[in-house]
Amino acid sequence: MIRFDRDLLQAFEDQLKPWDPESGRIPAKILGYGEISAVLQIPGMDHLAFKRLPPFESPAQRQAYRAAVEAYCDLLQNKHHVEVVDYRCVELDNRAGEPILYIAQPLLPAQAIGNQFLRSCSDQQFNELLTEILQRLLRIWQANERNGPAELVGLDAQVSNWAYWPASEKHATRLQYFDISTPFIRRHGRETLQPEIFLKSVPSFLVWLVRWAFLQQVLDRYYDLRLVLIDFVANFHKEKLQHRIDAAVAGINAFLQGPAAALKIAPLQRKEIDKYYREDAFIWTIFLNFRRLDRFLKTRLLRQT
């Protein structure tokens, strides 16, 4: 059970500048950035990580999003046997009366986060973690083969979304997934998540472009296992783990030709991994630069009023 101080969280929300959460009377620490929002550590609740979603248009929209998150976690954990880190959804209103949703999770040890684990693990431990992740992906996509199009589940499988504890004398191997704020569920071709939620964090002058050029493409790739695997390995560039790429490709291709052979997925090639990363990094660099510009303009304008 996630324990938190609701009054403190409301006080934090009341003084929050979303474009600058580290300022204010209760300065948060930014733990990371996602596609939709930042992950925050709030003083007085240091044992938790909070993801604050952008304001919703109505309580009903917030409730629909929350229901999608809860359904996604239930599917992952109970149907596909992918252990999900404990979480709690917290509903608040901001100063303007807009519906806000926080997702609270335990603050995990840094060394257990997948990308951090890979920085110091042995080659054998790397192969063990890769195998554990691939086994879980296989369960999801085997179910997708059986259940689609009535129900498809997607996943952003990049290594930084997993927490891993290798087996020891005290405990068995444990792998947990914690990036639950984007619930990838499609039923008969329709997202249960309202895709427009992705656009909440997009600078206003780019919304039309992202909706037209990128949104559907970004969503689609998390339902395509081959693209999920390419994205998984390509992120090793971002994490400065390039020395692991060839071993990852070899391990994944052995998996595709062995346990996952029935899915008939073409093997990965190093050159397409590198090309994918260059293109993805270029798009995200432009997007993040525009988001910084948008934040700067809002800060300057608000300071002038």
State pLDDT tens for residues 178-209. Answer: 999 999 999 999 988 877 666 666 666 666 56
74 located within any domain: no
Structural domain of 281: 110-304
**Taking the chain, what is the end-to-end CA distance rounded to the nearest angstrom?**
43
- Does residue 103 carry a pLDDT above 70? yes
Residue 160 lies in a domain: yes
Give a yes or no: residue 278 inside a domain. Answer: yes
CA angle at residue 94 from 88 to 95, to 5 degrees? 155
Residue 17 lies in a domain: no
Residue 37 within a domain: no
pLDDT at 157 over 60: yes
Residue 165 has pLDDT above 80, yes or no: yes
Report field, pTM of the whole predicted structure over 0.95: no
Residue 92 lies in a domain: no
**Are 53 and 198 within 8 A, CB to CB?**
no
Residue 105 inside a domain? The answer is no
Q: What is the pLDDT confidence band of residue 245, given thresholds at 50, 70 and 90? A: very high
Report yes or no on 258 lying in a domain: yes
How many domains, the chain? 1
Position 115 pLDDT exceeds 90: yes
Query: Can you tell me the distance from the alpha carbon of 200 to that of 42, in angstroms, rounded to the nearest whole number?
Result: 22
- Give whole-number Cα distances, 38 to 102, 112, 186, 301, in Å: 11, 20, 25, 22
